[in-house]
Chain A
Amino acid sequence: MNVPISETAAREAAGYVLDLPGADGVEVVVAGSTIGMTRYALSQIIQNTVKNEVRAYVRVAVGDRAAAASTNQLDREHMVAAANSALEAAGSSPPDDDFPGLPDPANVGRAQGVFRWDDATASRSAAARAEAIGRLLDITGDDNVAGIYETSAHSYSVLSSTGIDCHDAFTRCVTTCLVDNGEATGWAEGSSHDVELVDVEAIAQRSAHKANSGRGAVDAEPGTYEVVLEPSASAMLLDFLSYTGMGAKSVIEGESFLSTRTGMKVAAEGVTVADDVYDELSVGLGFDLEGVPKKRVAVIDDGKATGPVTDLRTARKLGVELTGHGSGSAEFGPYAANVTLAAGDKSLDELIGDVDEGFLVTRFHYVNVLDRPTAYLTGMTRDGIFRICGGAVAEPVHNFRFAQSALDALAAVEGIGRDRVAFAPDYGSFGSTVAPPLRIGEFKFASRTSH
């Protein structure tokens, strides 16, 4: 396993500063990545990047104060400079009554890596990525096609003066494909830690089929409708639910739905939304960026809100269980980076078959938050929205803008698909979202556009 930064290298870098004079505690996170990203558009490769990155984050505690500094050079000189910078910053800060100290493995447990790792994915060459795109383009033919083929490898280590010493690594392959046939666009994507599990031919075929089905789209009236969300659209709602309300910091600050609705029914029966890096489709780390073992947390368990994911600081402040979801930023707070929605028992066709009058949504675009406590969102549909009539997909329609609470959508779930799909984050390497298709009884489209 040729990880970007080995355990040995991470320990060596951390070893330069873990006994920093003047510090009461030191924590070092060493992150490394090698990313190969080939972008194609206009049915040809347009950009092609290989980048090797490393970063060491040094957090220094002085009494009840802490500060952090980071460097992308792991030699002694740079590590000590970063540590001293953090030490100086901590010393210049006022006392922090809520600082819980650095985690002690005797109290929080020792973390194990998940190691969603595949050697073939890690070592994929630029030539192999180009060859995969070539296979995809051979299928899509004369259509105008765009997307990415990415293979990457990532490693994380957390070490501290309190004895934290944990390591994990994962690989990722992501393929996306947008087909534009001149009249309509279609979309498909795939993501896995294992390059062999991403079927580029199937992705190309799905996207081309979707674009073909989208020819001759007509206007439809905005309104509240029953919808079937394909997994990409479901995953977007989950991502924003996580962003707006699944972390304990947002509970403390009153911005999360959990601030007022913990213990209450917030979603339909059968809806279980968890942060679960151990799900077979998840890609992530077995510990947080404080080195605390990551627990599976069902934030919504069979429709009922239970509680947020936490880090050391917020768990202590709220007096709740430490779940190991520190994001590395005390300002941002703990984060659920591996959100999963439990599968149901229906195929996508069966979900559609249960809809008398509604719409099938391929995916959403440019979603943003209108109100955090209600997870009220807006965004656009794109790359395929179709009317459903009498349980069958009917004509394509022009895109809608939606204005909808993600929580209300989950409360209106009437069917959950059995086939879940894993999605990689759009920005950064961290985490994944695993979602099935959903049938939702009421979903509000507020306006439309002309394509």
Chain B
Amino acid sequence: MEEFLQKALDAAVAGGADYADVRGVLGATESLSVNGPSVESLERSTSEGFGVRVLVDGAWGYAASSHLNDREATRIAQQAVEVGRASATRIDQPVELVPEPVHTDKWQTKIERDPITVPLEEKVELLASATAQMQNVSGVRVARGTMDLLRYTQLFLSSEGSSIEQTIWHTGAGIEATAVSDGEVQLRSYPGSFRGHFAASGYELIEEMDLPGNAERTAEEAVALLTAEECPTTETTLVIDGHQVMLQVHESVGHPTELDRVLGMEAAFAGTSFVGLDDRDQLRYGSDKVNITADATIPGGLGSFGYDDEGVEAQKVFLIENGILVGFQSSRETAAAAGADRSNGTMRAEGWENFPLIRMTNINLLPGEGSLDDLIADVDDGIFMTTNKSWSIDDKRKNFQFGCEVGYRIKNGRLTTMLKNPRYTGITPVFWGSCDAVAGPDEWKVWGTPNCGKGQPGQTMRVGHGTSPARFRNVSIGVDQ
């Protein structure tokens, strides 16, 4: 692969590229869904290909192909240069890149058991054991278990001399029970919604989940929701679990601090941001309990790697420190546009076929102190919500609404009545400003979001969020907010 990619790189430079990088990718995935006693779908896929990114006369060009032969290496490199030349006819500001040291390295996710090579029978048996228990609970219409596995090897070469090989494993699994009655549908999932919990890990992650051990409770909660009290419309104290904090961080901190959004480069599709460059070190984004980092160096995160997809070394940077906006997620191009000395390494592409974009690495709300029980104990009257179910936020990432699978009233420091259809809404800096507690390290967990969409053509990225439960005061709650 390296020799082949070097040919493409040489052809790009020979064709007139001022800068070029190439990525060759070998990917393998396995996706398994068990519905009740049956395997609903079982799909394996492999993908091989390469992409050539060039800067020509200050403009980007990108071309990609799945045909791995020397002739195609040259053709695609020339096509990338041709595309870059076309781009250059309509630019006002030539692209500049901040410097990055040349790296020659190999990096891989630390795993104990390669999930792709675990016998299929073992995987099916595990999920079927859990779905059987869910199906035994009266009132459950659908009992589904899923497993999604990925192994991804990439070789990156740049005209500056970097040569980086990385192999990444992402593993995820979960169960979901759907209960139906009189046209009403309620669901509960474990350990998280939307196909479960994901991490940069081997099969050991799934073994630790104990899906069968949580199946019956999950199903019973789904059925109980059918007859639960509707979540009231009110303004009160809200405690959310780590899974929901994950989505809250993702949508209202992760995306607004992407520098391409801040600069207006994603305006037409994903939108922009309510924060600007001048807000750095000025804007109070949240209370002083709110400390948030972009950290590609932690073990287990879907946003963990050795180097990003333009060869920048993985880093940990603060985005929000004691409630103040202090940083953005950047690329070599946007760092230069923002006057920074170095990119903080967040450029990632879905596969070989796509142009890298600024994508969240692991955007983490740093732990505070105490437990979830402690957060709840300090609430006289409020609502606790757990497990994300829906999300929506405006094009500047300010007005949001989230829904969770289940809620509970909090009365005098204790969880009481179950509530269905719990939702809350808010304005980003007001909401984070109302955060008066974040639970401590014992409650902190790195969750995975495997379905973050951005860019055109659309790319789906896997990102991580380390979170623990958190508490917010005076939040608008209710189905009609």
Which residues on A sit within 8 Å (CB–CB) of B48?
72-73
Give the contacts of A102-140 with B (CB-CB under 8 A). 125-127, 129-131, 133-134, 137
Binds A, one of B1-9, B62-70, B197-205, B299-307: B62-70
| Residues of chain A with a CB closer than 8 A to B97's CB | none
Contact code string A84-101 (vs B, CB < 8 Å = 1, else 0):
011011101111111000
Check if A47 is an interface residue, CB within 8 A of chain B: yes
Contact across chains for A373 and B46 when beta carbons are under 8 A apart: no
0 or 1 for each of B76-90: is its CB under 8 Å from A? (1 = yes): 000110111111011
Interface stretch among B32-40, B158-166, B376-384?
B32-40
How many B residues, CB 8 Å from partner? 86
Within 8 A of A (CB), among B411-439: 421, 423, 425, 427
Inter-subunit contact B62/A49 (CB<8 Å): yes
Is the pair B84, A48 in contact by a Cβ cutoff of 8 Å? yes
Q: Which residues of A contact B371 (CB under 8 A)?
A: none
Contact of A126 among B42, B86, B180, B392 (CB under 8 A): B86
A366 to B90: give the CA distance in the assembly, Å: 30
Query: Which of A141-149, A191-199, A276-284, A314-322 forms contacts with chain B?
Result: A141-149
Nearest chain B CB to A317 CB, angstrom units:
12
Complex: A137 Cα to B89 Cα, angstroms: 12
B263 neighbours in A (Cβ, 8 Å): 42
Find the A residue at minimum CB distance from B403: A370
Known: A94-B38, A449-B398. A369 touches B390 (CB 8 A): yes
Residues on B with beta carbons closer than 8 Å to the beta carbon of A148? 268-269, 456
Chain A, range 356-409, C-beta contacts under 8 Å to B: 365-373, 378-380, 382, 399, 401, 403
The verdict on B340 contacting chain A, using a C-beta distance below 8 Å, is no
Q: Is the CB of A133 within 8 A of B90?
A: yes
What is the CB-to-nearest-CB distance from B397 to chain A, in angstroms, rounded to a whole number?
10
Instruction: Tell me, in angstroms, the Cα distance from A217 to B111 when the chains sit together.
Output: 54
The distance in angstroms between the C-alpha atoms of A125 and B390, with both chains bound, is 40
A184 CB, nearest partner CB in chain B, Å: 13
Q: Are B42 and A89 in contact (CB under 8 A)?
A: yes
Expressed in whole angstroms, the Cα–Cα distance for A47 and B354 within the complex equals 11
Q: How far is the CA of A274 from the CA of B59 in the complex (A)?
A: 44
Whether B39 and A96, one on each chain, are in contact in the complex, defined by CB atoms closer than 8 angstroms, is yes
Assess the A45–B87 pair: CB atoms within 8 A. Answer: yes
The answer to whether A254 and B180 touch across the interface, beta carbons within 8 angstroms, is yes
CB B395 to nearest CB in A, in angstroms, measures 5
- A71 to B49 alpha-carbon distance, docked (Å): 11
Does B355 touch A at the CB level, under 8 Å?
Answer: yes
Distance from B425 Cβ to chain A, minimum over Cβ atoms (Å): 6
With A94-B39, A365-B271, A401-B394 as known contacts, state yes or no: A52 contacts B66, CB within 8 Å: yes
Mask, B53-73, CB within 8 Å of A = 1, is 000000111111111000000
* B62 surroundings in chain A (CB, below 8 A): 47-51
Closest to A176 in B: B268
Q: How large is the interface on A (under 10, 10 to 19, 20 to 34, 35 or more residues)?
A: 35 or more
B44 touches A331 (CB 8 A): no
Q: Is the CB of B86 within 8 A of A129?
A: yes
- Within the assembled complex, what's the spacing in Å between the Cα atoms of A176 and B268? 8
Q: How far is the CB of A233 from chain B (nearest CB, A)?
A: 14
Which stretch (A12-20, A31-39, A285-293, A433-441) binds chain B?
A31-39
Q: Is B185 on the interface with A (CB-CB < 8 A)?
A: yes
| A93 engages B399 (CB within 8 Å) | no
Q: Taking the complex as formed, is A82 at the interface, i.e. its CB lies under 8 A from any CB of chain B?
A: yes
Contact with B along A326-343 (1 / 0, CB 8 A): 000111000000000000
Of A51, A177, A260, A399, which is within 8 A of B183 by CB? A260
B237-277: contact bitstring with A at CB < 8 Å (1 yes, 0 no)?
A: 00000000000000000000000000111111101000000
Cβ of A76 within 8 Å of any chain B Cβ, yes or no, is no
Q: A41-B264, A176-B268 are in contact. Are A130 and B89 (CB under 8 A)?
A: yes
A2 within 8 A of B: no
Instruction: Say if the beta carbon of A242 comes within 8 Å of chain B.
Output: no
Contacts of A39 in B (CB 8 A): 456
Mark out the residues of chain A between 61 and 89 whose CB falls within 8 Å of any chain B CB in the assembled complex.
65, 67-73, 78, 81-82, 85-86, 88-89
7 A-B pairs (CB sep. < 8 Å): A49-B355, A55-B45, A78-B46, A89-B44, A127-B86, A130-B86, A146-B267
Given contact pairs A78-B46, A426-B458, a sample of 20 additional A-B residue pairs in the complex whose CB atoms are under 8 Å apart: A45-B91, A48-B61, A48-B84, A49-B64, A51-B51, A51-B457, A67-B43, A68-B43, A93-B120, A94-B124, A126-B86, A130-B90, A255-B180, A370-B423, A373-B183, A380-B399, A401-B399, A403-B479, A403-B480, A447-B481
7 smallest CB-CB distances across A and B, nearest first, come from A254-B180, A126-B86, A449-B399, A146-B268, A427-B458, A92-B120, A67-B42
